[in-house]
Chain A
Amino acid sequence: EAGVAQSPRYKIIEKRQSVAFWCNPISGHATLYWYQQILGQGPKLLIQFQNNGVVDDSQLPKDRFSAERLKGVDSTLKIQPAKLEDSAVYLCASSSGTGGYGYTFGSGTRLTVV
């Protein structure tokens, strides 16, 4: 089966600019996650979707980050305006189960804010 697709692979922007990331999960996976992985740290959940509804966005900095999954398939994550501390790899993952299942991660988008 095809994996989780993400684009772009790399992005360099200046602080205060905006940026958007795209994710297409594995076909049929109802649950989609966006994680932020800062260098040297474990992934941290930003937002979780079940179909097109938000399940958990408690750690999403809502003043600058937004995400949507309008048709319950692919998703976009946006940052506006970006800060230096947003430099990280943004990982998208999907899963099919409702409990007790690992994720399949995409290759991630490496964001550098200068």
Chain B
Amino acid sequence: GENVEQHPSTLSVQEGDSAVIKCTYSDSASNYFPWYKQELGKRPQLIIDIRSNVGEKKDQRIAVTLNKTAKHFSLHITETQPEDSAVYFCAAQTGGGNKLTFGTGTQLKVEL
């Protein structure tokens, strides 16, 4: 089955700096890669996603890049703000079953 690894497990940045979270996946058939933000005690919420026919996608301060050859994808947050502090999960979806395999999460802390 699919295996998703995520790094780093914790990340501290100063407000206004950029943050990058990286994930690798094992199944070359995976074709959809969403990112979720989870605040303490709350549900995971989809913040951005990318499909395997696209190399990069951007939405305001967040962007995701995908390298299918290397089987890795990354989340980029620019001009970080304190409200960006949360746990971020990457995930990979394989085939038509819709099953998402999640990474282990990155605790992002944006310091003033």
Binding site for B on A (CB under 8 A): 31, 33, 40-45, 48, 55-56, 58, 91, 95, 97-108
Contact pattern, B 61-100, Cβ under 8 Å of A = 1, otherwise 0 = 0000000000000000000000000000101010111111
- Docked-complex contact A105 and B31, CB < 8 angstroms: no
**Cβ contacts under 8 Å, A105 to chain B:** 43-45
**A105-B44, A107-B43 are contacts. A55–B105 as well, Cβ < 8 Å?**
no
- Docked-complex contact A43 and B102, CB < 8 angstroms: yes
Some 11 contacts from A to B, beta carbons below 8 A apart, are A41-B104, A42-B4, A42-B89, A42-B102, A48-B97, A48-B99, A58-B1, A95-B98, A98-B98, A100-B51, A102-B36
- Docked-complex contact B34 and A107, CB < 8 angstroms: no
Indicate the size class of the contact surface on chain B.
20 to 34
Determine the distance from Cα of A31 to Cα of B104 in the docked complex, in whole angstroms. Answer: 24
CB-contact partner of B31 in A44, A100, A107, under 8 A: A100
CB-contact partner of A40 in B36, B51, B100, B105, under 8 A: B105
CB-contact partner of B98 in A31, A43, A104, under 8 A: A31
- Docked-complex contact A91 and B99, CB < 8 angstroms: no
User: How far in angstroms is the closest Cβ of chain B from A83?
Assistant: 22
Determine the distance from Cα of A43 to Cα of B32 in the docked complex, in whole angstroms. Answer: 17
- Docked-complex contact B43 and A99, CB < 8 angstroms: no
- Docked-complex contact A99 and B98, CB < 8 angstroms: yes
CB-contact partner of A42 in B1, B32, B51, B104, under 8 A: B104
Determine the distance from Cα of A101 to Cα of B31 in the docked complex, in whole angstroms. Answer: 10
